Amino acid sequence: MNKKNKRLSILSHLEEFAFYGLPDFEQAQRHKYFKFEPEEWKMIEGRSSLCNKVYYAIQIGYFKAKKHFF
């Protein structure tokens, strides 16, 4: 018996990855997206723990690259 997927799919797998997949940065892109402005550094430094600071920095870089925030 075949199970049919009842979800509507309007994007191809490649398009889904382009929107929602993890970015694979080259060196120039890393420099571009993870070069923080002084205001961004203040926000990063304002986090309570090192783990939170790293997570916040990654979120900022990801948002600059993908224009999505998770």
Residues 44-55 pLDDT 10s: 999 999 999 999
- For the record, the structure tokens of 21 come out as 């997949």
Give me the residue label for tokens 């309007």. 10
d(CA 57, CA 66): 14
- For the record, the structure tokens of 17 come out as 């990855």
- For the record, the structure tokens of 69 come out as 């925030």
> What is the value of pTM for the model shown?
0.63
Q: What is the rounded average pLDDT of the residues 35-48? A: 95
pLDDT in the model for residue 62: 85
Whole-number average pLDDT of the chain: 85
Q: What is the rounded average pLDDT of the residues 66-70? A: 68
Q: Are 60 and 44 in contact (CB under 8 A)?
A: yes
Give me the residue label for tokens 């600071």. 53
